[in-house]
Each structure stands twice: as structure tokens, then as C-alpha cells.
Amino acid sequence: MHALSIVAHPSPDSFSHRMACVAGEVLTGLGIEVRFHDLYAEAFDPVQRVTESANTTSDDALIEVHCTDLREADLIMVFHPNWWSQPPAILKGWIDRVWRLDTAYGYPQGTGLDGVPRGLLRARAGLVFNTSNTPVERETEVFGDPLQGIWKRSVFELCGITQFVRRMYGPMASASTAQRDQWLSEVQHIVRQCYAD
């Protein structure tokens, strides 16, 4: 069994990294292997090449590693800031290049690309943890919380993962140490619950 942990924040001192760290510690303590990718530290290239137009293979070795880790994961965790109610561009590019045809989703035989895809991922759960400087209430009331729809329906459910949890923590700019510690405890609890049964 292994979990895939993806961090998309340019600062290694970010709260996104801290959440990934405590989540990894929980899983390691449970005997779960964690395959960790810091997209910025890896200099992940988010630009899909013309040669990848079929979106089923890549001559970029790092893409193939990510695809293997995604395909084999039992749990997928993503940690990122909320920028303009969206994931950072590097993370969007990761989805474009890694959650690809015949890796994350496919089409039933006889169905064209305009058909309804079916999920191929074996992961039993997906977790997304966001940071933001927008209060959660404002994100929901004013912007409609687009990250929830992107991650839940357009990514995880489309690729076959129906057990999904997402949390947004903030505003980070005014959060006390005690508040951050409380959020980290919640992250630990959510991750632990994935393996409670």
C-alpha cells in the first residue's frame, strides 16, 4: 500500500508543506509508504507538449514517474494554496499531464472521446488541503467555492474516486500559532480516518 502526496507551493516553509509533513508522519506511523512530490522543488514542467497531444504517453521521465505513482496510489493527497479561487498553474499542469487518458480515466470500448469517461484509478480516497487568505464564508458566499467543484467532480469523481474530503484553512495571514496547530491536528485526524477501517 502506498499514498501519493503532492505539494504545490513555491515556499518550502509554507503551511502547505507543513500539512504534507504531518500527513506523511501519520501514514508512515501506520506503516504506509508515502510517495512525496514537491512540484516546485522538482521543477515540474506544467506545459503539455505537442508530442503529448494524444495524452497517453510522454518522453519526459518525470511525467512517467508521476503517472505510475498516481496509478498505484491507494490514497491521493494534494496540498496547495488557493490562488484566484484556483490551484496554482503548476498544479493545473500536473493534472493536465499526469491525470491522463488510460492512466486516470478511459472510455468504454466503442465509445469515442465525446463519450462519458470512466475512472481508472484504484485509490480509495482523495484528500485536498488548501490554504487561503480569503475567509471560508466569503469564498463560499461570494465566489461559490470553485475549488470544491474542480477537485471533487471534475478530477476525483471523474477518475473513479468517490471518497473525497477537502478542507480550506485560513485566513493564513492572521492565523495564530494555536490556530495553525489546531488545523494540523485536523489534517492528522482526517488522514488517519482514511485507514481507520
Structural domains of the chain sorted by starting position, each given as residue range(s) with its CATH number in brackets: 2-193 (3.40.50.360)
| Percent of the chain surpassing pLDDT 70 | 99
How confident is the model at residue 143, as a pLDDT? 80
How confident is the model at residue 132, as a pLDDT? 92
pLDDT tens digits, 44-64: 999 988 787 788 889 999 999
pLDDT tens digits, 14-35: 999 999 999 999 999 999 999 9
* Mean pLDDT, rounded, for 157-186: 95
Task: State pTM to two decimals.
Answer: 0.94
Q: Is 138 helix (H, G, I), strand (E, B) or coil?
A: helix
Please state, in angstroms and rounded to a whole number, the distance separating the CA atoms of residues 122 and 99: 13
How confident is the model at residue 197, as a pLDDT? 60
Res. 67: pLDDT tops 80: yes
The answer for residues whose C-beta is within 8 angstroms of residue 1's C-beta and 6 or more apart is: 32, 33, 74
The answer for residues whose C-beta is within 8 angstroms of residue 39's C-beta and 6 or more apart is: 6, 7, 8, 90, 91, 94
How confident is the model at residue 138, as a pLDDT? 80
End-to-end CA distance of the chain: 14
- For the packed helices 177-193 and 15-29, what is the interaxial angle rounded to 10 degrees? 40
For residue 46, whether the previous peptide bond is cis, meaning omega lies within 30 degrees of 0, is no
The answer to whether the Cα torsion of 62, 64, 70, 72 is positive or negative is negative
Q: Nearest 5°: phi and psi at 77?
A: -120, 135
Reported as a pLDDT band with limits 50, 70 and 90, residue 2 is very high
* Mean pLDDT, rounded, for 174-180: 95
